[in-house]
A = this chain, B = another copy of it.
Amino acid sequence: MVDMDGTTETFCPYFHHAIELIGRRWTGAILRAMLRGKTRFSDIGGAIPGLSDRLLSERLKELEAEGVVERLVYPETPVRIEYRLTEKGRALEATVVAVADWAEKWVAHEPAHA
């Protein structure tokens, strides 16, 4: 079967990988908090009600492995650790904004979610 756009393939493994990475439980909220300037573990976690330290740590490790987040260690006393979005991570802002716009228009005003 040929698609509407004339190609024969709809499935793209890169798209699939990307959307499931971003949509993994808590990852969207973590990215949003980081795009809004949070860099410390406790600040990221504190911005997301219900997210445990264990899961935040797991998600940050996944995002680091994907090259979306980098973990910076400042050898001070006490040691200071920051999590920063890489260029690849900051490039997710367009996606986060698109989802936020959709949510604002289509989810926020629904009786079921009000």
- Do B14 and A29 have beta carbons less than 8 Å apart? no
- What is the copy number of this chain in the assembly? 2
Note all chain B residues with C-beta closer than 8 A to A46.
1
A101 to B46, CA, bound (A): 31
Q: A43-B1, A91-B105 are in contact. Are A11 and B24 (CB under 8 A)?
A: no
- Do A18 and B107 have beta carbons less than 8 Å apart? yes
- Do A25 and B18 have beta carbons less than 8 Å apart? no
- Do A11 and B28 have beta carbons less than 8 Å apart? no
Q: Which of A41-92 contact B (CB under 8 A)?
A: 43, 46-49, 67, 88, 91-92
User: Which residue of the partner chain B has the closest CB to A65?
Assistant: B112
A interface list, Cβ under 8 A from B:
1, 3-5, 9-25, 27-29, 32-33, 36-38, 43, 46-49, 67, 88, 91-92, 94-108, 110, 113
Extra 4 A-B pairs, beta carbons < 8 Å, given A20-B28, A21-B23: A10-B38, A17-B103, A17-B113, A19-B27
